[in-house]
Chain A
Amino acid sequence: QKEVEQNSGPLSVPEGAIASLNCTYSDRGSQSFFWYRQYSGKSPELIMFIYSNGDKEDGRFTAQLNKASQYVSLLIRDSQPSDSATYLCAVTQGWTSGSRLTFGEGTQLTVNP
């Protein structure tokens, strides 16, 4: 079983729709959860992080965490073509600096105009 699993892509949504990206993790000791966006040939860019159960909203992005189900998701509202990228879910065991990130393999999102 992979430590971090993401829903297999590619995911394609029309412009203006909600894109839903899912991630599960196997280590119950995981404390902090991150979503990165990576454009082709570029480096990962931090979009959201979440530590507590529930929802966390930032602009068009909402991260959702359910530790009991070991599940974290990212919703992108009003999707734009510029959101087309690979989205990486990452988890760490600790919540402070010094914990390595374990990444999923990513979900490729395409937003069609």
Chain B
Amino acid sequence: NAGVMQNPRHLVRRRGQEARLRCSPMKGHSHVYWYRQLPEEGLKFMVYLQKENIIDESGMPKERFSAEFPKEGPSILRIQQVVRGDSAAYFCASSPRLAGGRSSYNEQFFGPGTRLTVL
């Protein structure tokens, strides 16, 4: 069973460009979370999504950042007009949903992350 997949693993952008980070959850997982880890800082929650729905975006910066999880395909975290302060590791995590729509315990499994560097 493949784990959470993220790509690209490393992304270099110049200031003002757009960054697109992709995440495919583990098979059978319908909950996707994005976290950011700034250099020498802890992991911070950004957004929680289910298919076609943003459930909790309380951790997202109000400008330039957006996320989606379409019916088909991976979840996308988009950062427009990147600045140097956006340089960080961005991790996606997923958690399972039990058969019949019941929620499982909230174990979240992390992908390998995307290291974004803004020049």
Chain A residues with a Cβ under 8 A of chain B: 32, 34, 36, 42-46, 49, 51, 88, 90, 92, 94-106
Q: Check B103 for interface membership: any CB of A closer than 8 A.
A: yes
Q: Check B48 for interface membership: any CB of A closer than 8 A.
A: yes
Our pick among A32, A42, A103, A106 for the contact of B105 (Cβ within 8 Å) is: A32
Whether the Cβ atoms of B43 and A98 lie closer than 8 Å is: no
Whether the Cβ atoms of A97 and B96 lie closer than 8 Å is: yes
Contacts of A106 in B (CB 8 A): 42
**B49 to A: closest C-beta gap in Å:** 10
CA A43 to CA B55, docked complex, whole Å: 24
CA A101 to CA B94, docked complex, whole Å: 12
Our pick among A34, A43, A104 for the contact of B42 (Cβ within 8 Å) is: A104
Report, as a range, how many residues of chain B touch the other chain. 20 to 34
* Mask of B100-114 contacts with A, CB within 8 angstroms, 1/0: 000111111111110
Contacts of B112 in A (CB 8 A): 42-43
Q: Check B65 for interface membership: any CB of A closer than 8 A.
A: no
A44-B91, A98-B31, A100-B56 given; 19 more Cβ-contact pairs under 8 Å? A44-B43, A44-B110, A45-B110, A49-B105, A90-B43, A95-B105, A96-B104, A96-B106, A97-B31, A97-B97, A97-B103, A97-B105, A98-B48, A98-B50, A98-B103, A100-B45, A100-B48, A101-B43, A103-B35
CA A63 to CA B98, docked complex, whole Å: 25
Known: A88-B43, A100-B45, A100-B56. A43 touches B113 (CB 8 A): yes
